[in-house]
Amino acid sequence: MKKILSSVSILIIFLTTLSFAQGFKVKASGEQTFNFTDKGGRNQASFYSTTPLEDIRGLSNDVKGTATFNISDIKTLKGKISVSTASIKTAIDLRDEHLRSDDWLDAEKFPEITFSIKSVKDVKQISDNQLQVKIVGDFTLKGVTKEITADATLTYLDESEQTKMRAPGDLLGVKATFNVRLSDYGVKNKVVGQKVAEIVEVSVNMVGSNKTN
């Protein structure tokens, strides 16, 4: 009798776990790893801020990293994404120099800005191949690490003739946004004498492949 009850308890736990697992309903299964390095420079990370005189937008095409997860359970997602600090451009050379200085991002001492995934929550199934989630991770800027939460949309694309035009293998598209408080990272909120907003909006738009070239 005890063995029967034990087996029933294990089955209930297993079924409960399955009921809470949310993932993609696609051709692939099991654990997959996606690489976001794009030699074509199409993956982008950007920031947006305001000054009394103009809005400032920065952009980098030097985005790289990997993400691994089980297809049936997006909460298994782990990985790390990085951006080269010196690669961020604002369309004005003088401002870019200031951006790379020690007052701001200190590109020489801290050559990378990183986001390491810790957990996923608030999963919403949009379609079989698309999920809306909140990704909790450690964001490191100028040598300071703080936990932040990003709002993200993840889209899984099975390999097809159309996707092969971008990269071989299945593709994972990621669109994410989060806010960064400059003072938390020791960044002064002035660029070339212009005071910018204390809170900067960061956006990432990238596509990774689960097949290496």
Q: What confidence tier does 2 reach under pLDDT thresholds 50, 70, 90? A: low
Structural domain that includes position 190? 23-209
pLDDT in tens, 178-190: 999 999 999 987 7
> In the predicted model, what is the mean pLDDT of residues 141-162?
98
Q: Is 161 part of any domain? A: yes
Q: Is 144 part of any domain? A: yes
> In the predicted model, what is the mean pLDDT of residues 160-183?
96
Q: What's the pLDDT at 16?
A: 44
Q: What's the pLDDT at 191?
A: 72
C-alpha 15, offset from chain centre: 31
Q: Is 18 part of any domain? A: no
What's phi and psi for 142, nearest 5 deg? 55, 35
DSSP 3-state of 83: strand
Domain tally, the chain: 1
Does residue 17 or residue 56 have the better pLDDT?
A: 56
Taking all residues of the chain, what is their mean pLDDT, rounded to a whole number? 90
Q: What's the pLDDT at 213?
A: 59
- How far is residue 51's CA from residue 58's CA, in Å, rounded to a whole number? 14
Q: Is 6 part of any domain? A: no
pLDDT in tens, 68-108: 999 999 999 999 999 999 999 999 999 999 999 998 999 99
- How far is residue 107's CA from residue 46's CA, in Å, rounded to a whole number? 16
Q: Residue 98, CB half-sphere, CA atoms under 13 Å: how many?
A: 16
Q: What confidence tier does 7 reach under pLDDT thresholds 50, 70, 90? A: low
Domain CATH number, residue 190: 2.40.128.110
Residue 4: pLDDT over 60: no
> In the predicted model, what is the mean pLDDT of residues 159-187?
96
Q: Which residues contact 147 (CB under 8 A, 6 or more apart)?
A: 118, 136, 137, 138, 139
Q: What's the pLDDT at 19?
A: 46
Q: What confidence tier does 17 reach under pLDDT thresholds 50, 70, 90? A: very low
Q: Is 16 part of any domain? A: no
